[in-house]
Amino acid sequence: MMHEYLVGEMRLYEEMPLGDRRSHQTEEDMVMSHVALKYFCQEVAL
How many separate domains does the chain show?
Answer: 1
State the pLDDT at residue 46.
62
Q: How far apart are the first and last CA of the chain?
A: 17
Tell me, yes or no, if the pTM score tops 0.85: no
Query: With left for phi above 0 and alpha for psi between -120 and 50, is residue 16 left, alpha or beta?
Result: beta
Secondary structure letter of residue 12 according to DSSP: H
Mean per-residue pLDDT, 9-22: 63
Alpha helices in 1-46 (DSSP H): 2-15, 18-24, 27-45
Mean per-residue pLDDT, 28-46: 74
Residue 25: give the domain boundaries.
2-45
State the pLDDT at residue 19.
58
Question: How many other β-carbons are positioned within 10 Å of the β-carbon of residue 24?
Answer: 12
State the pLDDT at residue 17.
62
The whole-angstrom separation of Cα 21 and Cα 9 is 12
Mean per-residue pLDDT, 13-40: 68
State the pLDDT at residue 18.
58
